[in-house]
Structure 1
Amino acid sequence: MFECTATDFSPGLNTSPLAPSFGCRCHSPEMTRFFSRMAAGRKPTKTAFATPSAPASLYGAGALTATAPAGPIAFENLRLFDGKSNILRDGFRVVVEGQKISSVEPMEKPLAEYIVAVDCGRRVLMPGMIDAHYHVMLASLPLNELLTADIGYINLAAAAEASRVLMRGFTSIRDMAGPCFGLKRAIDSGLVPGPRIWPSGAMISQTAGHGDFRQPYEIPAARGAPLSHAEVFGVGAVADGVAEVLRRAREQLMLGASQLKLAAGGGVVSSYDPIDVSQFTEAEFRAAVEAAENWGTYATVHAYTPRAIMVAIRAGVRCVEHGHLMDEEVAQTLSEQGVWLSIQPFLDDEDAVPFPEGSAQREKLLMVTRGTDATYELAKKHRIKTAWGTDILFDRRLSDRQGAQLAKMTRWHEPVDVLRMATSVNAELLRMSGPRTPYSAPLGVIEAGAYADLLLVDGDPLTQIHLLAAPEKNLLVIMKDGRFYKNIQPG
């Protein structure tokens, strides 16, 4: 396949730079002449993947933006996972023009002469994946650095993490707390590579709640006291009472939140709130829900326990993050009211945040992980709308295991159901942002009119989902917005 190659600034991605000043081969004199001849009426050209001697990256020397192919392309000789089906489909080609998929058509249909045909070698073409609970600003740096480092350094670290997220095959994320508005803008404008982001902004929290990162010496807070570092940074927004919750909710919407997130109960990483506590009143939740609804979107909550979940649901919250300690009554209520459950595969394993033995955080983590199996079973039993996410925090090693956390889902679901969850199902949750969604075309599916966010997998993820845990080896093509970010042939 033709390719754009250049220096890739993402740590751990070893790609060869392309020296010529035109920046990418799509715009080299040779490729310009090639596409000119095609447009003049030559027959469709079959292309193969790039050779190992010319590995792919879309960044020209000194450039920061990807370069799209110079014309429409058609992926052929593939097995198709469209994001919705139970099986791989044969006999189709997928045509990409610009940012979107223009058609999914039978191979028997004649291909227009100006379209370059790409031979996929019978590999699996699938939609780009979606992580419905990620923290791109918080995933790869330790907590003490996030609370003390210069914001410029944090933004640069987050930009590098965004690039790695994309290169793991995750072309979209729902960011569930953190000041990612600037990073989202940089990605959307092409300054840095990264996934599409649905930002929540700061998590709204009561005093002593899951989003209150103040130190004890800052309490009691004097009237008019400056905001804490975490509030200025934009991780949490402390609010007490209906009026303050309403103001904080409106502030996040002003900054560009596609949905609001509130802390409804205790958390693992926070210092002052036991897991069992319920946070905010129904009236306080309702203030945020109404603010979100006035903007055409929804509110979601961090919550583990039945009481925390039920108070939020009564106030009109439309999604629950976690829910690992819920009971049968809560599960039935979620199902009957159509409330989403965004669960993460929390287990006491290699993907757990390594809190010190005997610490309060370690004990809270163990409490949560003990409920994970039962929660997944309840969600299946009651057919709750279930999203998948990772909620990775504070550890670059853990963030690099994003795909492994998806593969772990086969503990509770069949591989095809896991893949649907990470594509079309998560995309359905993203659409709940309504007019506040940052991107207009369909995602998580391969169909005409959808964004051309595509992965080519060297193997069958429906039977070997663990392939997605090693994207550096098994993802041969990573495309977002119709642009190649990776395009290689296996060695």
Structure 2
Amino acid sequence: MKKTLKAQWLSKVTIAATATLFSAASLAESSYLIINAKVFDGQSEQLTEPQQVLVEGNKITKISPQIEQPKDSIVIDADGRTLSPGFIAAHEHLVGQMSFGELFAKDTRYKAYVATQTVEQYLMNGFTAVRDLAGNTFSLRDAIDSGYIKGPRIFPSGPMISQTSGHADHRWQSHTNALQGGSWDTMEREGDMLVVDGVPDMLKAVRENLRQGASQIKIAVGGGTGSFADPLDTVQFTPEEIQAATQAAADWNTYVTAHVYNTEGIRRAIDNGVKSIEHANLIDEDTLRYMKKHDVWLSPQVIVYTYIPKGYTQDQAAKHRQAYAGIDNLFKTAKKIGFDKIAFGTDIITDPKMIAEMNQEFVHRTEWFTPAEIMKQATYNSAQLLALSGPRSPYPEKMGVIEEGAYADLLLIDGNPLDDITILTNPKQNLSLIMKDGQIYKNTIN
């Protein structure tokens, strides 16, 4: 009798799982004809006149003022709304939106359950792709792609790699000496952070991240506000260690991005093969020109510096304010020299309430950029940065644009964000349609 009940239970589980996957696959094969849409294509400074956009499967297949409706396609009347590519956030942390105490105290299952809520929040805020830059998000990505949970496309880095005393080293002075072996840090033990020293260990760390499916590699080349032992002016990893990381990544046809605020660290990173700089708040003009000369991407954030993350010590808060003070010079200098390889992201950490407010990043940037520039940063630009992953990208087709052949990652927005970008801060009201990979996750139009 027990064997029969067990067999029945397993059968039900199998059928339920299959139904979930079948449902997601079926929706992805649907055909939609969006009509009467004013299009922001990811790059233009103005919307188009009303257009029609045909979505077949998970791709945009045709864009024209008039398209003959295919048989069995579903018509969505945009009624003059703005059709935009889905937003792309290039510096996010999907695992760990909880207090520091919980980060160190809760098990991996608790953190995974919280992460399912976090990723759905990103999608409902209009973000159809995210580059995760410190965390064990490989299974989270797979669960989303398999249709078990709702969320954006994830480009995982795996654990952020830093040196002893660097940005991934979260020990207090009283904690175990690194030379004694073992790791006190649960984030390191669970694959969210990684501390290494020396070329051999750097090579092993990068190769292990790539083995697990990292799209790109993140290293810390300077101090951070969320860690205890590393002032922002410090430079971390030797040139040889950085070269080991960039060479190992290049051998896998992908790239390394570096967390670093200060000028010396940025130059060391660039000189040794890093293709993208995270933050750069304390950069000077000559070094930003150096980045431009070497075709290096800038991945900055604003919103995370407008509040003090929960659990910060006085020293961490002081570093956070120091980083915030540098943003104005960073962006004014970028505008001055015509540096436009700027991505979009938030870097929100340890605060689920702030995650819900992530779209305030669009408004924060208006102090330096036009709405059209910000929209481009959040779509086309960020997609170009993600494309550096090359064959290591889990999603190899075009993103961040409305073009024939691009992924059908689309938003219908009530109003024109190129005139008033503040409308994006109320996604519940002003995002009428959210489509990712040809599948509709929200539709309040019909």
Same fold per superposition (TM over 0.5): yes
2:69 corresponding residue in structure 1: 111
User: Cα offset for 1:71?
Assistant: 3.8
Looking at structure 2, the residues matched to 267 and 311 of structure 1 have their Cα atoms a distance apart, in angstroms, of: 17
Q: 1:410 aligns with which of 361, 366, 374?
A: 366
2:322 corresponding residue in structure 1: 367
- Closer/same/farther in 2, CA of residues 346 and 400 from structure 1, 3 Å limit: closer
User: Cα offset for 1:91?
Assistant: 3.4
**Helix, strand or coil for the counterpart of 2:288?**
helix
Query: Is residue 2:437 matched to residue 1:478?
Result: no
Q: 8 Å contact 2:303–2:364 — kept in the other structure?
A: no
Query: Is residue 2:41 matched to residue 1:85?
Result: no
Q: 8 Å contact 2:225–2:319 — kept in the other structure?
A: yes
> 1:222-301 alignment to 2 at 5 Å?
222=179, 225=182, 228-301=185-258
**What is the aligned residue count?**
427
1:94 corresponding residue in structure 2: 53
User: Cα offset for 1:159?
Assistant: 0.9
Q: 1:469 aligns with which of 406, 425, 435?
A: 425
> 1:151-162 alignment to 2 at 5 Å?
151-162=108-119
Query: Is residue 2:333 matched to residue 1:378?
Result: yes
Q: Which amino acid aligns with 2:74?
A: V
> 1:22-421 alignment to 2 at 5 Å?
66=24, 68=27, 71-107=30-66, 109-138=67-96, 140-222=97-179, 225=182, 228-346=185-303, 349=306, 351-354=307-310, 359-384=314-339, 385-421=341-377
Q: 8 Å contact 1:346–1:369 — kept in the other structure?
A: no
Looking at structure 2, the residues matched to 113 and 244 of structure 1 have their Cα atoms a distance apart, in angstroms, of: 58
Looking at structure 2, the residues matched to 230 and 91 of structure 1 have their Cα atoms a distance apart, in angstroms, of: 49
User: Cα offset for 1:119?
Assistant: 1.3
Q: 1:455 aligns with which of 401, 407, 411?
A: 411
Looking at structure 2, the residues matched to 432 and 479 of structure 1 have their Cα atoms a distance apart, in angstroms, of: 24
Q: Which structure 1 residue ranges, 5 or more long, are not aligned? A: 1-58
Q: Which amino acid aligns with 1:345?
A: V
Q: 8 Å contact 2:303–2:360 — kept in the other structure?
A: no
Looking at structure 2, the residues matched to 209 and 71 of structure 1 have their Cα atoms a distance apart, in angstroms, of: 48
Give the stretch that moved more between structures: 93-102 or 380-389.
380-389
User: Cα offset for 1:227?
Assistant: 6.7
Looking at structure 1, the residues matched to 107 and 422 of structure 2 have their Cα atoms a distance apart, in angstroms, of: 37
User: Cα offset for 1:313?
Assistant: 1.0
Looking at structure 1, the residues matched to 28 and 159 of structure 2 have their Cα atoms a distance apart, in angstroms, of: 37
**Helix, strand or coil for the counterpart of 2:155?**
strand
User: Cα offset for 1:195?
Assistant: 0.3
User: Cα offset for 1:413?
Assistant: 0.5
Q: 8 Å contact 1:130–1:426 — kept in the other structure?
A: yes
2:13 corresponding residue in structure 1: none
User: Cα offset for 1:197?
Assistant: 0.5
Q: 8 Å contact 1:179–1:234 — kept in the other structure?
A: yes
User: Cα offset for 1:69?
Assistant: 7.0
RMSD value, Cα: 2.0
Q: Deviations over 1:25-48 (max 9, x none)?
A: xxxxxxxxxxxxxxxxxxxxxxxx
Q: Deviations over 1:95-149 (max 9, x none)?
A: 0111111111222x433344332211111111100001001112x2112111110
- Closer/same/farther in 2, CA of residues 98 and 307 from structure 1, 3 Å limit: same
**Helix, strand or coil for the counterpart of 2:52?**
strand
Looking at structure 2, the residues matched to 443 and 101 of structure 1 have their Cα atoms a distance apart, in angstroms, of: 11
Looking at structure 2, the residues matched to 210 and 261 of structure 1 have their Cα atoms a distance apart, in angstroms, of: 11
Q: Which amino acid aligns with 2:160?
A: M
2:10 corresponding residue in structure 1: none
Q: 8 Å contact 2:36–2:79 — kept in the other structure?
A: yes
- Closer/same/farther in 2, CA of residues 113 and 222 from structure 1, 3 Å limit: closer
Q: Which structure 2 residue ranges, 5 or more long, are not aligned? A: 1-15
Q: Deviations over 1:164-204 (max 9, x none)?
A: 11011000001010111110110111111100011011111
Looking at structure 2, the residues matched to 288 and 161 of structure 1 have their Cα atoms a distance apart, in angstroms, of: 30
* TM-score, normalised by the number of residues in structure 1: 0.83
Q: 8 Å contact 1:210–1:265 — kept in the other structure?
A: yes
Identity of paired residues, percent?
40
- Closer/same/farther in 2, CA of residues 147 and 452 from structure 1, 3 Å limit: same
**Helix, strand or coil for the counterpart of 1:93?**
strand
**Helix, strand or coil for the counterpart of 2:207?**
helix
User: Cα offset for 1:333?
Assistant: 0.5
Q: Which amino acid aligns with 1:475?
A: L
Looking at structure 2, the residues matched to 206 and 331 of structure 1 have their Cα atoms a distance apart, in angstroms, of: 25
Q: Which amino acid aligns with 1:467?
A: I
Q: Deviations over 1:312-346 (max 9, x none)?
A: 11111111000000001211100111111101115
Q: 1:433 aligns with which of 360, 365, 389?
A: 389
Q: Which amino acid aligns with 1:84?
A: Q
Looking at structure 2, the residues matched to 478 and 204 of structure 1 have their Cα atoms a distance apart, in angstroms, of: 34
Q: Which has the higher helix share?
A: 2
* TM-score, normalised by the number of residues in structure 2: 0.91
**Helix, strand or coil for the counterpart of 2:359?**
helix
Q: 8 Å contact 1:346–1:372 — kept in the other structure?
A: no
**Helix, strand or coil for the counterpart of 1:338?**
coil
Q: Which amino acid aligns with 1:179?
A: N
Q: Deviations over 1:274-309 (max 9, x none)?
A: 111111111110000000000000001100001111
User: Cα offset for 1:310?
Assistant: 1.0
